Structure formats: structure tokens, C-alpha cells
Structure 1
Amino acid sequence: MFRTMPFSLLAVSLLFLSGCSLFQPDERPLSGTIEAEEVPIVAEAAGLVQSVKVGEGDVVHSGSVLAEIDKRNYEAAVNEAEAAKAQAQAKLDEAKAGSRNPSIQKGIALVQQADATIVLQEVRAKQAQAALAQSKDQVAQVEMQWEGAKRTLAFQENRLKEAVALFQRGAIAKKEYEAAQEAVNQAQTQANQLAAQLEAARSRYDSVQQDIAAALAQKGTAEAQRKGAVADLELLKEGSTSHSIRALLAAVQQADARLDQAKWQMEKTVIKAPADGILLRSSVVEGEVAKQGATLFTMMKTDHLKLKVYIPEAELARVKIGEKVEIRVDAYPDEVFAGQIQTIADKAEFTPKNVQTPDERTKLVFAVTIRITEGLDKLRPGMPADVRFLAEGEAR
């Protein structure tokens, strides 16, 4: 009996060990840095800033008023344009009163409508040209800042390499090594933010170019319509109206365009939030004279926080677009925030140096972008975060 006991113990031990192997091993969370889309809010009208209604850190909603510029000069311009239009219209009405032919009146209206459209599109094109120049300057400025951030990142990465070597030799304390790591993380965050700003600035530049092309195309269409309307009107009004009507039509059309432009300028004295978000920076104070094209505020879209992590190639099959994940940050150690996988890179890349350990930097990984769906009022860009992918069937 006693001789069979060791074999029984061995069998139990093997069964216990094999049972342990059936458990899912602890998953090590993947790490990344929270990013956000920053939106500059630019002054489209110059003037004295009468009031600033928000401060840094405030939550704003789309269309809410952020600041107001003194509109008295713009109101005067609108009143002047309205008076000029009324005067031109009165002269035209007086000249047209001599003709009672309904067909002629209709022909005049068509020409007037075409003229108004042409001038309006010319104004749109000129405004877009001015915006294009400002957008080009902004792209150049952000490009310069981004290049500087990349140089800073490269410098910090070199310092980290030196710190790693010194730390391994015991030449520096762990605190100095960790400080070098944090400097690299901060430099990477700054470079990522500027890259996002550069992409947004280039997108705005392309959008303005499209606006110019659209305005010129609509102007060409209106010119063709006007040509046909003038030809028809000439046949109708021979011997019935004075040649001065054409000049009066042009005067009314010009007055309409000036009035539209004056009203548009006055509307821009009220600075509004373009979307829901959080105000990150305020660059204006009450009593300051704002210049046209100056950035007054910078806001972060609250529904656009994202996080990028890198998953090893061997584990790619366990993540899918649309699946939920758990997110933890050091600032809220007892809270778990939800996220959803938004994109998975099509191509593999080598592990970024600031994400994984030195032993894993040569592994192939895939970038996974996660849209954060909870904690948008607490989480902030630049926060380091850990991500855990939920197992199949696991509910949060």
C-alpha cells in the first residue's frame, strides 16, 4: 500500500498542473497616450473685443457664444449699404416706370438676377482668396512647429538611450532614467498633436481651394445666363426703354453685393463654437483689439478622444473593429473607462521605441486606434493609458 502512494501523489500533481494550464494566462495590458483633435477658432472680423464669455477648461457647445467684437462700425456699414441699395432701386424703378410691357419687366429681372449672382460669386471668390492666404500661412507655421517637435523628440530619444546605458551600469538613479522616459513621452505627445494640427490645417487649405473653384464655376454659369438674358431683353426693349436701365441694373446689383458683404462681416463679430468641446487655450482678453485671422481660442472636441496601441502580430486575430475595450489611467486608478476599436492598421510595423520594452522593439506589431466612449469629461490628451481587450463573450 505504501509503495503505491508516490504514484498516486504523482498522478494528482500531474492532474493539478494540467488543470492549471487550462486557465487563460494573465493578459498584459497594452499602453499608449490619449490624443485629441484640436480646433483653432479664428477671428474673421477685426475690432475691439467687448466681452469674453468663456475661460480655459470650460465646456462649450456648438453655436454657443465665446466672445463678442464691437459691431458698431459694422452696423454703420450695413446701414450705409442699405441706403445705397434703396437709392439705386428707386432710380431703377423710376426708369422702368415708363415701360408697362410685362415681358420687358421679366427680362430686366432676369438680367438683374444674373448680375447679382455674378457679383456675389466674385465676392465669395475674393473672400476665399483672402482665407487661402491665411490658411497657407497657418500651414507653414504649424509645419515649422512640427519640425521643431520632431527634432526635440529625436533629441530626447538620444538622451533616453544614454540614460538606459548609464542606468544599466548603475551610473544614474532610477529616477533620472524615468525622467528621461517621461521626456520622450511628452515630446512624442507634442509631435503627435502638432501632426494632427498640421493635417487639419492642410485640410482647411484644400477646402478653401475648393470654395474658390466652386465660386468661379458658379460665376461662369451666371455670366452665361446673363448673356442670354441680355440678348432676350435687347429684343424686347428696343424702342421701349432707355439704355440707361442697364447702368441702373448694374448699380442695384452692386448695392446688393455690398449689403450682403456688410451683413456677413457683422455676423462674424460674434465668435461662436464650431462644435461641442472643451476650451483648451484662450488667447484673447476683453479690451484687446483682435486682428482678422488671429487665433482667439483653441478647443478640443469632446467626442474625438482616441488612443493608439500596438498589438503583436501573433495576437492580431483576437481583436476586431467595433469590439469594446477597458481603459485605465494613473489619474483615476480605481476607475475603468470604455473604448471601442475604431481602426486596425493594414500593414505591420516595428514596435515604436516609446511604447514597448527594449527586448520587444524588433517585433512586428499592428497599430490599433481606439475611440474613447466613456470618461470624456475626465480624460485629457497626453495622459498615458493602459488598454485591456475583452475576451470573447466577456461583457463590461
Structure 2
Amino acid sequence: MPASIVKTNGRIEATQVDISAKYAGRLADVSVEEGSTVKVGQVVGRVSSPEYEAELKAAQSDVDRTKQTLTQAEAEIASRQSTLEFAKSEFERGSELIKTGAITQKDQDQRRRNYESSDAAVKAMSAQRDQALSAISKAQAEVERIQSILQELVLVSPRTGRVQYLLLHSGEMVAAGAPVLTVLDLTDVYMTIFLPAADVAKLGVGSEARIVLDAAPQYVIPATVSFVAADAQFTPKTVETKDEREKLMFRVKLKIDQKLLLEHFSKVKTGVRGVGIVRTNSQTPWPEDLQVMLPK
């Protein structure tokens, strides 16, 4: 094996996410079990909240009530608008009649009062209509707020993967923010290895790597260096060699391509141990036994 190719032990891992309820309630149902495969956006459970459901009905009732108020105000405005137009016409006609003495000043003053009263009535009803419109907007906003809360009570998987743990069961109370189940994202799988500083210094993010699993040594899985820790740390306790334990090591992640994972989705498992191989010199060709070999 060329000196620029480094092997070290590692373990296959995957990004783990908790699916939680944003609001408290009772777990109405869970549609998956441990080991079930889930897709991103899939509904996996639902939390019920009678309190929010009752609030939604009350808010919807407020919307209906304010809409009725608006309808009544608009009908009243239409009625009073016709009265206003008649009073205005009478007042304007009186202004001409008083010049010829056809009506008295007293009659004209009454026409003015009728006109002003009708105008004030229309303005008052217009104000009521504007208040009704504002009330409708507020009531609809409240409906939307509660609907968004109820939507948050529907548990949806944020990743494509496999259910690792089912933490709560149907009928149990759920606290706000409490995880209900845990999903492993099997499209984000990697091997974590630890390398000494001398090797890490020659390694770049994006470099090619290889993974060989103990359970399937006949296959060579291509990977990419996706992460190199900035800070050194002691080798994990699982390494028993005294010399290695005394050295400061850097954590490195070898990520497997998502497309490759999807092609072999049913065979992807975490916790499997194996060997991670990296090149500290990209010009060094991969040996024959480290050429990519995948299951058919």
C-alpha cells in the first residue's frame, strides 16, 4: 500500500432527526413503526388538541358574525345614500326657490338640516362598514393563526429515511417540543474516522475516499471527504492501542453520494463497522484492490 494512502477504522452513521410536536396535546395516532421507511413530507402521526379546535370554531364564528355586520352596514349605506341624494337635491333646489320667494328661509333651513343629517348618517354608516372590514381581517387572521397551529400538530417527516425510535404511542400526552419519533436520514450517510495531524494536514475537503465494510469486504464504496475537524481531540475510547490513544487526532467524515444511497436504499444500514481509506496525495492512483466495486 502506498504511503500516501491511509487506512483507519470507522463506523457507518447517518444524520438523525427528531420529529416533535410544536404544541402540547394528546397523540391521536402514529402511522409508522420502528424500522418503517418514510419519505420526506410523509405524515407519520397526529396530535389532537380539543382546545385549539374549539378556538378555531369560535374564530370562524367571529368571521361569520363580522361578515353579517358588514352586509348590514352596506345595505344601510345604500338606503341612506338615496336619502342623502334626495335631501341634497331638495336643498339645491331650495337655494334657487328662495331667490324668487317661492319658499321661506325657514323651509330652506329645514332642507339644510335634512341634507346635513343625511350626510352625517351616511358617514356614520361608512365608519361602521370600515370597522366591520377591520373586524373581518382580524377574525380571519385569528382563524389562520389557529389553523397554522393545528397544521403544526400534524407530524411530518422532514427527511427520507428509516424510523429508528418510536418514543411515544397513541393516547399518550405530548409536551410542547417533545420528540415523538426519531428518523435516520438514509440519504445522508457517512463514516466517521480519526486521523493524526500529519495526515489531516495533507487532506482536503472534497478529496476522494473509499469505504470497505467488515460485513461486505468484497465491495469498495466510493466516498468523499466532507468534513475535517478544526480542533484536535483524543482518539475515541474504542481504539485500544496505547500509542494511538496518546496522540491527538482529528475527526474526519467520509460521505457517501446521495444518488448511490438511493440506488441501494433497502441495503443501507448504520452502525456497521469497517475501514475508511483516504489519499493524502491526490496524484497517487488507487490500488487495484481499492477500485470501486458495488453490488449489482
Give TM-score scaled by structure 1 length: 0.50
Alpha-carbon deviations, 1:112-144, whole Å to 9, x = none?
xxxxxxxxxxxxxxxxxxxxxxxxxxxxxxxxx
Residue among 269, 278, 281 paired with 1:389: 278
**2:185 aligned partner:** 301
Q: What is the match of residue 359 of structure 1?
A: 243
**367 and 238 in structure 1: CA distance in 2 versus 1, 3 angstrom threshold:** farther
- Determine the C-alpha separation between the residues in 2 that align with 1:291 and 1:97: 49
Structure 1: tracts of 5 or more residues without a match: 1-22, 101-236
Deviation at 1:377, TM superposition (A): 4.8
Q: Deviations over 1:13-39 (max 9, x none)?
A: xxxxxxxxxx84696621234343321
Q: SS of the counterpart of 2:188?
A: coil
Task: Give the Cα separation in 2 of the matches to 1:320 and 1:298.
Answer: 32
CA distance in 2, matches of 1:53, 1:327: 35
Task: Indicate if the aligned counterparts of 2:235 and 2:244 stay in contact, CA closer than 8 A.
Answer: no
* TM-score for the superposition, normalised by structure 2: 0.64
- Give 1:276's aligned residue: 160
Could you tell me how far 1:260 is from its partner in structure 2? 1.0
Q: In the alignment, what sits opposite 1:241?
A: 123
Kindly report which structure 2 residues correspond to 1:74-223, keeping only aligned pairs within 5 A, or say none: 77-99=55-77
Determine whether 1:40 maps to 2:22.
Answer: no
The reply on whether 1:262 has 2:146 as its aligned counterpart is yes
Give the direction of change, closer, same or farther, for the CA distance of 1:88–1:339 in structure 2 (3 Å limit).
Answer: same
Taking the aligned partners of 1:98 and 1:332, their CA distance within structure 2 comes to 82
Distance 1:333 1:276, change over 3 A: same
Counterpart Cα distance in 2 of 1:263 and 1:99: 34
Contact 1:96-1:241 at 8 Å conserved across structures: no
CA distance in 1, matches of 2:56, 2:203: 59
Post-superposition Cα deviations, 1:228-266, rounded to whole Å, max 9, x if no partner, equal xxxxxxxxx987522444543443233112211232233
Counterpart selection for 2:34 from 44, 53, 56: 56
Look up the equivalent residue of 1:278 and give its one-letter code: R
Tell me: CA distance 1:285–1:346, structure 2 relative to 1, closer, same or farther (3 Å): closer
Q: Which range is displaced more, 43-52 or 32-41?
A: 43-52
Structure 1 residues 290, 343: CA separation in 2 closer, same or farther (over 3 Å shift)?
A: closer
Once the 2 structures are TM-superposed, how far is the Cα of residue 282 of structure 1 from its aligned partner? 0.7
Q: Which has a greater percent of strand?
A: 2
Identity of aligned residues (%): 24
CA distance in structure 1 between the partners assigned to 2:248 and 2:50 by the alignment: 62
Q: Secondary structure at the residue paired with 2:34? A: coil
**Distance change (3 Å), C-alpha of 1:321 and 1:262:** closer
Q: Which amino acid aligns with 1:296?
A: V
Conserved 8 A contact 1:350-1:362: no
C-alpha change, 1:99 and 1:311, in structure 2 (3 Å) is same
| Deviation (angstroms), 1:61 | 0.7
**Greater gyration radius:** 2
Q: Unaligned regions of 5+ residues in structure 2, if any?
A: 79-118
Letter in 2 for 1:327: I
CA RMSD of aligned residues (A): 3.5
Check conservation: 2:19, 2:179, Cα contact below 8 A: yes
Match for 2:255: what amino acid? R
Q: How much has 1:98 moved relative to structure 2?
A: 5.0
3-state SS of 1:306 partner: strand
- Measure the CA separation in 2 of the matches of 1:25 and 1:43: 52
Deviation at 1:361, TM superposition (A): 3.9
